[in-house]
Structure 1
Amino acid sequence: MNPSLYLSDTPSPRGRGRWQLLGLLALVLGPMLLASAMYRWQFWVPEGRSFHGELLGDGRDRAALGIAEAATPAAAAAPVAASEVDAPGDRWQVLVTSPDDCAEACRRLVYLARQIHIGLGREASRGEHALASATAPTADYRATLARDYPRLRRYDLDAGRYRGAVPGGEPALWIVDPHGNLVLRYPAGVNGKAVLDDLRHLLKLSKIG
């Protein structure tokens, strides 16, 4: 019997297989965990960004702005598909917020949000447009929403909480991911093409929604 057989430093096939499996898991899960941590705690984020809006990425969601979770289409009588009504949260969202009723600046943003959604073209099924306001729209504007914005989602908004979360408490435009997280913020005078470019870039990078 050769004692050297028991003193060999060569790992067994089972041991090599275990290390190979651990290495493979590290290669697959490591970048995902690192990217999630970078997004959550904002470290190692490059200063040079291609986004036109204010990149948030701090873990806040719609509720942090005082937005109620439940949403409805603008016009209940409008011919909206069941999936559009019953399954919010599975699409990227162009969201307009106003701590008062939806006046002139807010209405421009609502129009812009719809045009951005349409501008996605073949990717439009991955997005939606929405309005969150603290005061119900006037009767005239409700009629306009019912006629021209049948797929618009509507949310109730807590004005006090919104003003505490948004400097100045002004109407704003947001890109929200399918999990409800706030991704980008834009002021009322934003250029629509810039928002559309940002949203297209996010859709290209994203595997969700």
Structure 2
Amino acid sequence: MGTAINPSETAHHAAPASRRRGRLQLILILLLTIGPMVLATGMYTLKFWVPESRSYHGELIGNGPTRAELGVQTDEQRWQLLVTAPQTCTVACQQLVYLARQIQIGLGRDASRATHALASAQPLDADYVARLQREYPQLQRYAMDVPAYTRGGQGNGGAQLWIIDPHGNLVLRYDPSVKGKDVLNDLRHLLKLSNIG
């Protein structure tokens, strides 16, 4: 005759194995939920595994400065390519104005989501004003408050091109040597990510 199996003995051996499996599952669940947060916190505080590359071409502006800190007052509600000229609008400034218009045109179907503008501290040359009226009919022009611009500390004294979001926050800054394709790619990327403006 075969040996009879005692059901209580089988249950006794199954219980520790079941408990071990349950503990292992609990540990795995905790690792999967808390682990990424601990890893991300460690990466941020200890600065490890942080990629050195960046996907934008201009200088990223942080800490929330606004267009008002450039000495420009407007309630524009779209993305804006703003050229600032804290002195006279020289050749470099005029090149950036041209570039801003070309970038807006280059946006294609998204062109209506952005504007291009010039903020100058000095009155513009009469010939240049006539040219702007003739060739840049959609260009917005603003007077620039130089003391506010200087106080804001965002500029370098020369002409610059800025990408500004619909809330008036400064996002990226470019100097006159920038390539138009780089600015266009940056703005396209921002428009793709943004659900405002």
Structure 1 length-normalised TM: 0.67
> In the TM superposition, what is the alpha-carbon distance from 1:188 to its structure 2 partner?
1.2
Q: Do the aligned partners of 2:72 and 2:119 also contact (CA within 8 Å) in 1?
A: yes
Q: Which runs of 5+ in 2 are unaligned?
A: 1-49
Q: Secondary structure at the match of 1:168?
A: coil
Q: Which runs of 5+ in 1 are unaligned?
A: 1-44, 70-87
Give yes or no for the alignment of 1:154 onto 2:154.
no
Q: In 2 relative to 1, CA 188–180 (structure 1 residues): closer, same or farther, beyond 3 Å?
A: same
Q: Do the aligned partners of 2:79 and 2:163 also contact (CA within 8 Å) in 1?
A: yes
Per the alignment, residue 92 of structure 2 pairs with 105
Q: Secondary structure at the match of 1:96?
A: strand
Runs of 4+ in structure 1 displaced over 6 angstroms?
Answer: none
Larger Rg, first or second structure (1 or 2): 2
- 2-side partners of 1:63 and 1:203: how far apart? 22
| Cα RMSD, aligned residues only | 1.6
Give yes or no for the alignment of 1:171 onto 2:159.
yes
> In the TM superposition, what is the alpha-carbon distance from 1:168 to its structure 2 partner?
3.0
Give yes or no for the alignment of 1:184 onto 2:189.
no
- 1-side partners of 2:186 and 2:175: how far apart? 14
Per the alignment, residue 94 of structure 1 pairs with 81
For each residue in 1:50-100, what CA deviation from the matched residue of structure 2 results, as whole angstroms up to 9, or x when unmatched?
Answer: 01001113211111111133xxxxxxxxxxxxxxxxxx5221101100011
Q: Secondary structure at the match of 1:169?
A: coil
Aligned length: 147
- Structure 1 vs Structure 2: percent identity of aligned residues? 61
- 2-side partners of 1:111 and 1:102: how far apart? 12
Q: Secondary structure at the match of 2:82?
A: strand
- 2-side partners of 1:168 and 1:102: how far apart? 14
Q: Secondary structure at the match of 2:162?
A: strand
Per the alignment, residue 58 of structure 2 pairs with 53
> In the TM superposition, what is the alpha-carbon distance from 1:159 to its structure 2 partner?
2.1
The one-letter code sitting in structure 1 at the alignment partner of 2:117 is A
- 2-side partners of 1:127 and 1:59: how far apart? 20
Per the alignment, residue 25 of structure 2 pairs with none
Q: In 2 relative to 1, CA 167–66 (structure 1 residues): closer, same or farther, beyond 3 Å?
A: closer
> In the TM superposition, what is the alpha-carbon distance from 1:103 to its structure 2 partner?
1.3
Structure 2 length-normalised TM: 0.70
The one-letter code sitting in structure 2 at the alignment partner of 1:203 is L
